[in-house]
């Protein structure tokens, strides 16, 4: 943890509710410790802006340990920045060099309207889940947990799909702003488990339809989502969703 400091130029997307046009504004970020996280760097800049009487940059963040999925911005053209399998809050400034210019933009997708600056509305992802991303059981009626054996391998595969944090980086990184990786991960998670089988058909059809209705783009197998996913979710989940959809649609 040997720390040094660097100076950076930030170009940050600023857009408020009164001026929906928005524009990139330039700020200096000086004496940034390389041990800081990217969001801590923005904190520091915001402190300075506040002292200068400029409104601080609005950005979503919460757990700051890479699990809540709240944070995210496109940094120099890359969702969550350039480090693999890293959320913005876990991106550390040691990966930048003194004198770098950093362009920070919000997720861009028609389905994710900008609320302010770097903050977007990702409610569409909740709506996809509402369309069927669940197993229909009420509390209280479940049988003993061990009456449903699940092969270890399937449990692990299901877990890998379920590791999605719903941050929306897949949509942001997709050249078509498609939500296939998000939707594929949820459909896969449930399709891999015996508990998910009874509702599988309905789930695949209605979640895929919801995705279309919400204005997401189509998948053209560019695999940018997989490359940017902070949880390393693979496009094999999309293939599994395709299989689930084919089974549901044509049988």
Partner 1 sequence: MNWFIENISTAIGKKLLMAVTGLGFVGFIFVHLVGNLNFYFGKEVFLKYVETLHKLDPLIFVAELVLLGLAVIHVSTGTLLFFQNLRARKTRYAVNKSAGGRTIGSRTMPYTGFFILLFVILHLFQFHFIDRSQMTPYDAAVNTFGNIGFALVYIVAVILVALHIRHGFWSLFQSLGLNHEKYMPLIQTVGIIFAVAIAVGFAFVPIYIRAVI
Partner 2 sequence: MTLESKIPSGPVHEKWDRHRFELKLVNPANKKKFDIIVVGTGLAGASAAATLAELGYNVKNFCIQDSPRRAHSIAAQGGINAAKNYANDGDSIWRLFYDTVKGGDFRAREANVYRLAQLSVNIIDQCVAQGVPFAREYGGLLDNRSFGGAQVSRTFYAKGQTGQQLLLGAYSALMRQVSAGKVEIFPRREMLDVVLADGRARGIVTRNLVTGELESYSAHAVVLATGGYGNVYFLSTNAMSSNVSASYRCYKKGAYFANPCFTQIHPTCIPVHGTYQSKLTLMSESLRNDGRVWVPKEAGDKRPPEQIPESERDYYLERKYPSFGNLVPRDVASRNAKDQCDQGKGVGETGLAVYLDFADAIARDGREAIAAKYGNLFEMYEKITGEDPYVTPMKIYPAVHYTMGGLWVDYNLMTTIDGLFALGESNFSDHGSNRLGASALMQGLADGYFIIPYTIGGYLAGTRLPDVDASAPQFKEAEAKIREQVDRLLSIRGKRTVMDFHRSLGKIMWDHCGIARDEQGLEKARQMIAELREEFWENVNVPGDAADFNQALENAGRVADFMEFGELMVKDALDRKESCGCHFNTAYQTEDHEALRDDENYCNVSAWEYTGPDSDPVLHTEPLTFENVELTQRSYK
Give the footprint of partner 2 on residues 143-162 (CB under 8 A): 143-146, 148-152, 155-156, 158-159, 162
State the Cα–Cα distance between residues 2 and 31, nearest whole angstrom: 15
228 lines the binding site for partner 2 (CB under 8 A)? no
Is 163 an interacting residue with respect to partner 1 (CB under 8 A)?
no
Residues 42-73 as b/e (b if ≥16 CB within 10 A, e otherwise) read bbbbbeeeeeeeeeebbbbbeebebbbbbbbb
The alpha carbon dihedral of 32, 34, 35, 41 has a sign of: positive
- The answer to whether 72 and 107 are in contact (CB under 8 A) is yes
Contact track, partner 1, 165-194, x by CB under 8 A = --------x-xxxx-x--------------
243 is a contact residue toward partner 1 (CB under 8 A)? yes
Spatial contact of 207 and 128, defined as CB atoms under 8 Å apart? yes
The CA dihedral of 110, 115, 119, 120, to the nearest 10 degrees, is -30
The interface with partner 2 within residues 81-120 (CB under 8 A) comprises: 85-86, 90, 92, 94, 115-116, 119
142 interacts with, out of partner 2, partner 1, none, CB within 5 to 8 A per kind: partner 2
Residue 68 binds which entry of partner 1, partner 2, none, CB below 5-8 Å type-dependent = partner 2
Q: Which of 99, 136, 250, 251 binds partner 2 (CB under 8 A)?
A: 136
By the 10 Å C-beta count (0-12 exposed, 13-18 middle, 19+ buried), 4 is classed as exposed
* Residues in 9-28 that interact with partner 1 by CB under 8 A: 11, 13, 24
Residue ranges binding partner 1 (CB under 8 A)? 11, 13, 24, 74, 76-79, 82, 103, 105, 108-111, 173, 175-178, 180, 205, 208-209, 211-212, 215-228, 235-236, 238-246, 249-250
């Amino acid at each position: 943890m040997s720390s040094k400091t660097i100076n950076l130029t930030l170009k940050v997307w600023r857009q408020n509710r009164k001026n929906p046009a928005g524009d990139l504004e330039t700020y200096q970020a000086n004496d940034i410790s390389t041990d800081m996280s990217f969001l801590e760097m923005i904190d520091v800049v915001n402190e300075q802006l506040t002292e200068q009487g400029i409104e601080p940059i609005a950005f979503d963040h919460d757990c700051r340990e890479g699990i809540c999925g709240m944070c995210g911005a496109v940094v120099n053209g890359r969702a969550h920045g350039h480090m693999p399998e890293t959320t913005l809050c876990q991106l550390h400034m040691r990966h930048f060099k003194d004198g770098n210019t950093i362009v920070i933009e919000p997720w861009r997708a028609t389905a994710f309207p900008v609320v302010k600056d770097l903050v977007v509305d990702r409610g569409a992802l909740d709506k996809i889940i509402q369309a069927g991303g669940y197993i229909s059981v009420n509390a209280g009626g479940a049988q003993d947990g061990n009456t449903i054996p699940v092969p270890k391998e399937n449990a692990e595969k299901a877990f890998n799909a379920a590791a999605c944090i719903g941050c929306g980086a897949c949509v942001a990184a997709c050249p078509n702003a498609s939500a296939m990786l998000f939707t594929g991960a949820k459909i896969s998670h449930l399709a891999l488990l015996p508990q998910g089988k009874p509702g599988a058909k309905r789930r695949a059809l209605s979640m895929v339809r919801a995705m279309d209705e919400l204005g997401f783009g189509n998948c053209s197998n560019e695999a940018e989502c997989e490359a940017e996913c902070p949880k390393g979710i693979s496009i094999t989940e999309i293939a599994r969703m395709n299989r689930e959809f084919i089974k549901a649609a044509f049988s």
